[in-house]
Chains A and B, each alone.
Chain A
């Protein structure tokens, strides 16, 4: 490997007085002073959360208000830190969505364990669990930070649905049975 020797020139008289460099530095800082601040006044101003951000995991409902989770427990199995715990349950026979058959009786995410990896969102076949835009989370006790189903739906809200899979299924079943049940 060829070694290239750089010649170090001795400093010129102007450079040795430091003055041109100081003036150059002052110019740079003056330019900075005239620019608007780059900071965000945090509690008053919130940052824009980019799409695909992995915030606190939440459960969502579809636009018709149906809870999407069918308690298949895939998220529970894929969760690396074992933060999710699902107690499966079934939907009542006489319910409007009885054909979905299953829904979680209890759904817990232990936020002290969660590592925000997003595997649960990735694995969910029902698009029921999403890591949304909540980036600041705290609590006063361990119990408070184990999110229960109610809390998860409350912070999750409703997200638009592209498929309406179960509605289509119901419609198809209705059509197959000749339109009258």
Chain B
């Protein structure tokens, strides 16, 4: 590999980080907007920088949409004083936000997000590294994110963060199992490959001229279990045990402020974004639309990325919609749901599809 190739790869990676982080940031704004709409409020609509906000129509529109809220919040996190309480274990205290943030960024290296036909007539996939075991890598790295939370809870040396950390670890372990088991049937169905690209490719096209070949239609139970586990893994309501404001103040991030809190915060939204992306890839046909072939050139690439993004943003919206609809589960209910309902259901689901696939293979 020479320097040009390396720098192109680096550029691509930086661009992707930029896009994902921007989207994660704007999902915070979306979250606040959705919360406001559900509660009959207009939401953030006043923040405007001096020059941009004064552009006649556009500036006002952007202000009303709350789009300037993100830079304002980000700068606030940056410029605030960084307090470090005296009773914390300093090294781990600083390490924890990084630990919870980095996995989210690492996951996206193996995330395919579009396809087009290149100049040689071959189908090319938009992806940083096309691993054969993409989904395994994602599952493995994303569960590292919980170490950040556990470390935060433990290093803070005070009771609420500690309880939050303990809850996070227990919850993560319980739902990881159901999550892993729920996506096995998907890969059995696709035919023994763990590459995300081939999962998406298998979902293109129509069945009997009307039905999109999306996995969610063939395996609704797998999709449901995966979705519920995803909510639990990303610590979103109704499963936000580690943070539950009502009983744990702010859970694991009670002792954090300023930019370190900001890292936790963006990390959470990056996890949601990438979790949504995995759901879309596995169950909603990724960048394909039923009946739409892979298109050529830059145009094709842009179209496929846009389709993918639209689906992902719908999932992100679903996350927020659910959050502002449901109350939080009790901790023991979360555990019961995980171990007594989802896990047996996931095992039954796996056995069911294994038998079905075996039968189909026979004939």
Specify which of B36, B39, B40, B321 is in contact with A26 (CB 8 Å cutoff): B321
Please give me the residue from chain A that is nearest to B45 by CB atom.
Answer: A41
Q: Is B38 an interface residue (CB 8 A)?
A: yes
Please give me the residue from chain B that is nearest to A40 by CB atom.
Answer: B42
Task: Assess the B324–A37 pair: CB atoms within 8 A.
Answer: no
Q: Is A172 an interface residue (CB 8 A)?
A: no
Q: Is A35 an interface residue (CB 8 A)?
A: yes
Q: Is B1 an interface residue (CB 8 A)?
A: no
Q: Is A137 an interface residue (CB 8 A)?
A: no
Q: Interface 1/0s, chain B 195-214, versus A by CB < 8 A?
A: 00000000000000000000
Q: Is B322 an interface residue (CB 8 A)?
A: yes
Q: Is B37 an interface residue (CB 8 A)?
A: yes
Task: Assess the A32–B321 pair: CB atoms within 8 A.
Answer: no
Please give me the residue from chain B that is nearest to A31 by CB atom.
Answer: B38
Specify which of B36, B38, B41, B326 is in contact with A22 (CB 8 Å cutoff): B326
Task: Assess the B38–A41 pair: CB atoms within 8 A.
Answer: no
Q: Is B325 an interface residue (CB 8 A)?
A: yes
Task: Assess the B325–A37 pair: CB atoms within 8 A.
Answer: no
Q: In angstroms, how far is the closest chain A Cβ from the Cβ of B343?
A: 15
Q: Is A64 an interface residue (CB 8 A)?
A: no
Specify which of B39, B45, B322, B326 is in contact with A32 (CB 8 Å cutoff): B39
Specify which of B40, B321, B322, B325 is in contact with A35 (CB 8 Å cutoff): B40
Q: In angstroms, how far is the closest chain A Cβ from the Cβ of B345?
A: 10
Per the 8 Å Cβ criterion, residues 14-45 of A in contact with B are 22, 25-26, 28-30, 32-33, 35, 37-39, 41
Q: Interface 1/0s, chain B 1-36, versus A by CB < 8 A?
A: 000000000000000000000000000000000101
Task: Assess the B324–A29 pair: CB atoms within 8 A.
Answer: yes
- Number of A interface residues in the complex (CB < 8 A): 13
Task: Assess the A39–B42 pair: CB atoms within 8 A.
Answer: yes
- Number of B interface residues in the complex (CB < 8 A): 14
Q: Point out the residues of chain A lying under 8 angstroms from B321, CB to CB.
A: 26, 29-30, 33
Please give me the residue from chain B that is nearest to A41 by CB atom.
Answer: B42
Task: Assess the A39–B40 pair: CB atoms within 8 A.
Answer: yes
Specify which of B38, B45, B322, B326 is in contact with A33 (CB 8 Å cutoff): B38
Task: Assess the A33–B37 pair: CB atoms within 8 A.
Answer: yes
Task: Assess the A26–B41 pair: CB atoms within 8 A.
Answer: no
Q: Point out the residues of chain A lying under 8 angstroms from B37, CB to CB.
A: 32-33, 37
What 10 pairs across the A-B complex have the smallest Cβ distances? Answer: A33-B37, A38-B40, A25-B325, A29-B325, A37-B42, A29-B38, A39-B41, A32-B38, A26-B325, A37-B41
A26-B322, A26-B325, A37-B36 are known; give 13 further A-B pairs, CB within 8 A.
A22-B326, A25-B325, A25-B326, A29-B324, A30-B321, A32-B37, A33-B37, A33-B38, A38-B40, A38-B41, A39-B41, A39-B42, A41-B42
Question: Which residues of A line the B interface, CB within 8 A?
Answer: 22, 25-26, 28-30, 32-33, 35, 37-39, 41
User: What are 30 A-B contacts defined by CB distance under 8 Å?
Assistant: A22-B322, A22-B325, A22-B326, A25-B325, A25-B326, A26-B321, A26-B325, A28-B325, A29-B38, A29-B321, A29-B324, A29-B325, A30-B321, A32-B38, A32-B40, A33-B34, A33-B37, A33-B38, A33-B321, A35-B40, A37-B36, A37-B37, A37-B40, A37-B41, A37-B42, A38-B40, A39-B40, A39-B42, A41-B42, A41-B45
